[in-house]
Chains A and B, each alone.
Chain A
């Protein structure tokens, strides 16, 4: 067993165990911490696939930004000591049946399908290439989605300010 495989097993074990803990933990702040572990090992997965830039983005944006945002809003809206009551048994059973059936269906489909691996030589994904692709168009250019995302982020920013602004009471 190579080191790569051991790392993969560790990362996927962390991802699966901590994502189950994220959705079952009865204390909300602990659930957010478990989510942080899941996101960090997802970044590890990206490193294993040799996408270093995306792994760095995942670490800074998800593990750094979104988790902090979630923890802030938890602190604003919930009592940390409080435990959730466990959801009703039938609700849990139905949800578990639905997701297990879905998982089995997808997994059998994946295992029975033969993927044909690409034969092209792998591209070295460096910052130069990423930057040039984001501002070029035509073949291998992503200028349009880049502009769309920037407008979306601006719209989201304005919408967040408008929605979260305190309404004056008369």
Chain B
């Protein structure tokens, strides 16, 4: 079981993934690509939860279940975000964050 791979390697991979997501969140303008960056960040956090659970507390399952609940929350979040994006597209005819600057009917 996970022979020869230290915990830190998983954490460093997740850290890099998280900050690539942060970079995308700050530079992108299209709302769907911003949503994709958020998904990257959520996945990095999930890897962290599972690695900590497996290496530091192997007799318990807290990390496992929190990762499961994070996946459910992420699915709900993606669905709501895409509904809002499609609604914004109906009003502004594009999904650029810089052009959608008013929220009134």
Contact surface of A with B, Cβ cutoff 8 Å = 2, 4-5, 8, 12, 15-16, 19-20, 22-24, 28, 31-32, 35, 38-39, 42, 45-46, 48-51, 54, 57-58, 61-62, 65-66, 69-70, 73-74, 76-78, 84, 87, 91-92, 94-96, 98-100, 102-103, 106-107, 110-111, 115-118, 120-123, 125, 129-130, 133-134, 140, 142, 145, 149, 152-153, 156-157, 159-160, 163-164, 166
Contacts and interface: CB of A to CB of B under 8 A. Distances in A.
Interface residues of B, number: 71
Contact of B50 (A15, A51, A76, A94): A51
Q: Chain A interface secondary structure, helix, strand, loop or mixed?
A: helix
Contacts of B26: 91, 94-95, 98-99
Given A51-B54, A117-B55, 14 more contacts: A5-B5, A15-B17, A22-B37, A24-B24, A28-B30, A28-B32, A32-B36, A45-B47, A51-B50, A51-B67, A84-B29, A106-B19, A120-B57, A125-B64
Contacts of A74: 32
18 contacts: A16-B20, A42-B47, A50-B54, A51-B64, A54-B64, A54-B71, A70-B78, A70-B82, A73-B82, A74-B32, A87-B28, A92-B27, A99-B19, A99-B23, A107-B15, A120-B60, A123-B58, A149-B73
